[in-house]
Structure 1
Amino acid sequence: MAQSEAFDRREQVTEPSTAEEASRLYAMSVEMADRVSARRGLANQFYLSIETLLLGVPAFLGLNSSAPGLDPLRATLLAAIGVVVSAAWWLQLRSYRQLNTAKFEVILKMEVDHFHIHPFTDEWNSLKKDRVAGWRGRYAELGTIERVVPIVFLLANIFVGLWAWL
């Protein structure tokens, strides 16, 4: 098929209405935001597994009297790898958070500009105003909790690296 024939066929396709196009783009944007969140969850599982292994090996060898001990140099090497993994984890989480923030800004704007109902806007406003009894003044975002975990592992790895020399 010649290029001009393909161009002519595209011109024959009727353009969807603005509301139809907005609905399609909205659905696609929500799906993409969900996929980013799913990838973020898988990344968390991956890093948590690596950190558990890196901290578990020295702990197992140190507590198991029948296993050969782990010399300080190897324990420090595992701890240093753990520090690097923790830092990479934290940076990747920051990147995912920035990406999701941008995606939800677009989704919220689309809700306001094109629809009479605003499910994500309403959900977020509800979470921000409702106090969680016995916890804290407002909703604790998962991103806040996620950012603490790599830092805890980073500190644990530093502790293990220093403890190996004592």
Structure 2
Amino acid sequence: MSDNSSQVSPAVLDLYKMAVEMADRLSSRRGTANAFFLTVQTTFVAVLGVATPNLAKSPWGIGLTVSLAGVALSATWWMQLRSYRDLNQAKFKVINKIEEQLPFKVFSDEWEYLKKDPIRTWRSRYAELGASERAIPWVFAILHALMFIGRFWG
């Protein structure tokens, strides 16, 4: 609980509700974007897997173009995730600032508990979803590069 136990202004409470709703919507949009990119990448890799015998017979430039398209898609996905991360950080800074005027600091306290929870003895700190989430586009980029390289030895 914060030291501020006085009556909270309705305007501040409305701004807080709006900021929390906007952060929730942003997380939802990020999830939808991830589902889109994961579907496209998985489909792309599956189609390439089926088409590999035909690609092996095609000029190397076609294989390079297809691989670069997959890498470009991965880079776009990663940049979008980075943008969502930056937007979320800004939104939670605003939410935390508003919470200074509220009797409870729901998000600030939750974050502190996640960072310091003694129950998690097998790891030293909270593993943010964004860290693993941003690794997935790199996995696909490497997969596309390996598929191109494998074309020459296959």
TM-score bracket for the superposition, by shorter chain length: 0.7 to 0.9
**TM-score using structure 1 length:** 0.80
Q: Give structure 2 stretches of 5+ with no counterpart.
A: 1-6
Q: Give structure 1 stretches of 5+ with no counterpart.
A: 1-16, 63-68
Please identify the structure whose Cα radius of gyration is greater: 1
**TM-score using structure 2 length:** 0.86
Aligned residue number for residue 152 of structure 1: 139
Q: 1:71 aligns with which of 55, 63, 71?
A: 55
Q: 1:138 aligns with which of 125, 135, 138?
A: 125
Aligned residue number for residue 70 of structure 2: 82
Q: 1:60 aligns with which of 38, 50, 63?
A: 50
Cα RMSD for the two superposed structures: 1.7
Higher relative contact order (CA 8 A, sep 6+): 2
Q: Distance in 1 between matches of 2:63 and 2:42?
A: 14
Q: Following superposition, which runs of at least 4 residues in structure 1 exceed 4 angstroms of deviation?
A: none
Q: Distance in 1 between matches of 2:69 and 2:121?
A: 40
Post-superposition shift, 1:18?
6.5
Q: How many residues align?
A: 142
Q: Distance in 1 between matches of 2:121 and 2:46?
A: 36
Q: What is the percent sequence identity of the aligned residues?
A: 42
Aligned residue number for residue 20 of structure 1: 10
Q: Distance in 1 between matches of 2:128 and 2:54?
A: 39
Look up the SS of the partner of 1:149 in the other structure.
helix
